[in-house]
């Protein structure tokens, strides 16, 4: 909860960090709409895809800093969408899920499954703006480190 309290204090996000181009793939339109409304104020550009195939098409015609994918969608599932996207581009992917991400008692590990298919990280819904920004920053940093490592 401490993360959320910081949002209330106004330390949530620094405007300069939010000029991302984000693709949100989620059958629940309200998530993308809220991210769009909040981050657009700070120069971010957010595109929303209600189906995995629509998102994959969007990726073909424009470039994004990061892609957010919901794991549970009608039609193509989020996990399959991640595999699909990975096959055609190296764009960082963040998975979202309303379920527990890890549950050792039931040997459920969405985080592991999503990462195995090429996602950088996973966030659990509901999440606050700050959590999203942190996940994106972490993901982009990882990407840069990887690039530098490969470049040497």
Cα–Cα distance measured from residue 119 to residue 53, given in angstroms and rounded to the nearest whole number: 17
| Min dist. Cβ of residue 112 to another protein (A) | 11
Is the distance from CB of 44 to CB of 68 less than 8 angstroms? no
- Kindly indicate which of the ranges 59-67, 123-131, 139-147 contains the residues binding another protein, using the contact rule CB under 8 A: 123-131
Nearer to another protein, 75 or 90 (CB): 75
Exposed/middle/buried for residue 96 (C-beta within 10 Å: 0-12, 13-18, 19+): buried
> Is residue 112 within the footprint of another protein (CB under 8 A)?
no
> Is residue 24 within the footprint of another protein (CB under 8 A)?
no
Total residues binding another protein (CB under 8 A): 48
Q: Which string of b and e fits 39-77 if b means at least 16 CB within 10 Å?
A: beeeebebbbbbbbeebbebbeeeebbbbbbbbebeebe
Q: Which residues bind another protein (CB under 8 A)?
A: 1, 4-5, 7-8, 10, 12-13, 26, 28, 30-31, 33-35, 37-38, 41, 51, 53-54, 57, 71-72, 74-77, 79-80, 83, 98-100, 103, 105-108, 110, 113, 124-130
């Amino acid at each position: 909860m401490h993360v959320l309290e910081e949002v209330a204090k106004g330390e949530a996000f620094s405007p300069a960090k939010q000029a991302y181009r984000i693709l949100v793939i989620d059958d629940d339109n309200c998530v993308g709409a809220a991210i769009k409304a909040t981050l657009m104020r700070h120069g971010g550009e957010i595109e929303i895809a209600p189906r995995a195939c629509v998102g994959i098409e969007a990726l073909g015609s424009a470039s994004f800093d990061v892609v957010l994918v919901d794991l549970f969608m009608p039609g193509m599932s989020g996990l399959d969408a991640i595999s699909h996207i990975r096959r055609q581009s190296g764009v960082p992917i963040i998975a979202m899920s309303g379920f527990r991400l890890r549950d050792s008692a039931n040997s459920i590990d969405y985080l592991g499954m999503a990462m195995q298919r090429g996602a950088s990280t996973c966030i659990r819904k509901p999440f606050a703006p700050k959590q999203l920004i942190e996940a994106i920053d972490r993901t982009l940093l990882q990407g840069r480190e990887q690039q530098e490592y490969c470049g040497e």
